[in-house]
Amino acid sequence: MAELEQLVEKMEGGELTLDESLKAFERGVVLTRLCQAELKNAELKVQQLNSDGELEALEIDSPDNA
């Protein structure tokens, strides 16, 4: 995530050549997909204890449902 933030800052700052910007964009796409996959995995692992002390999936409202 930190690398992705750094890429965005450099691209927004206009510090990169066109070729560097394209490479940064491609790297950003890869990093974004990795972050999305990690988030999906984390959401699947989130659980809560029910009243019987058993684990059950925790329902999370996604931003799309808000």
Tokens of 9: 């800052």
Express each pLDDT in 16-34 by its tens digit.
899 999 999 999 999 999 9
pLDDT interval class at 63 (50, 70, 90): low
Cα-trace Rg, the chain? 18
What is the per-residue pLDDT for 65?
45
What residues does 40 pair with on adjacent strands? none
Q: Are 9 and 21 in contact (CB under 8 A)?
A: no
For the whole model, what pTM was predicted? Answer: 0.61
* Helix or strand (DSSP H, E) at 7: helix 2-13
pLDDT interval class at 15 (50, 70, 90): confident
Express each pLDDT in 27-62 by its tens digit.
999 999 999 999 888 777 765 545 566 666 666 665
